[in-house]
Amino acid sequence: MTESPLLPPGRSGPGTDAEATDAELDRMAELALARGVRTVALGRGNSPAAARATDGFARRWEAAGGTIICTVTWPAKAASWLRPATRFAAANPDLWIMAGPATGWAQMTRRLLWSTPWRPERTLAFAALGTRPVISLVGAHNLPGLTGPTTDGSTWHISAAATS
């Protein structure tokens, strides 16, 4: 990474916050269940679309017998994102689930990588975060194993080979 986990001035992701589709929400739950995990921590930006995405996942997850151990919301703008990153990582779930918006997610993820034991390979992220422009805010080389559903219900994945 750089001398600071903060994005350089002027760098940001898409300005819109995409709604999660039913196919995306169903696939997110399937991906989590396929990993055999029981506990998840939900992390999301402070936006209505991100709240709806994590709420939709939570309903599916709990209906399948899974447990949500915490929900952490982070701001779009902050001095460092250290507090939410520390809370999110400290939950130490079987799996972390993340929802946008893009710029806040990138800032949070950079702080997670910089300051916590959080691991991208133990994380699923919604489709809006799995695009090349959004991933480039953090750097694919920093995110091997990060996976998530697409809006049509298939899967995206950042492979270790793609990051070297």
Report the CATH number that the domain containing residue 51 is assigned in CATH. Answer: 3.40.50.2300
Give domain status of residue 117, yes or no: yes
Residue 2: pLDDT over 60: no
Top pLDDT among 77 and 60 is at 60
Please give the structure tokens belonging to residue 10.
Answer: 């002027």
Among 92, 84, 85, 86, smallest CA distance to 41 is for 92
What 3-state DSSP class applies to 130?
Answer: coil
| pTM of the complete model | 0.89
Residue 110 belongs to some domain of the structure: yes
The pLDDT-based confidence of 89 (bands split at 50, 70, 90) is very high
- Examine residue 100 and state whether it is found in any structural domain, yes or no: yes
pLDDT of 12 above 80:
no
In whole angstroms, what is the distance from residue 61 CA to residue 134 CA? Answer: 26
Name the phi and psi angles at 38, rounded to 5.
Answer: -115, -35
Segment holding 29, helix H or strand E: helix 22-34
Residue 163's pLDDT is what? Answer: 44
The number of distinct structural domains making up the chain is: 1
Least confident of 15-24, 38-47, 49-58, 117-126: 15-24
User: Does residue 37 belong to any structural domain of this protein?
Assistant: no
How far is 74 from 100, CA to CA, in rounded Å?
Answer: 10
Q: Kindly state the DSSP code that residue 12 receives in the 8-state scheme.
A: -
Helix H or strand E encompassing 45: strand 39-45
- Residues 62-87 pLDDT 10s: 999 999 999 999 998 888 889 999 99
Residue 123 belongs to some domain of the structure? yes
Question: Does any domain span residue 13?
Answer: no
Q: What is the mean pLDDT of the chain?
A: 90
Which whole number is the average pLDDT over 125-146?
A: 94
The parent domain of residue 76 ranges over 44-163
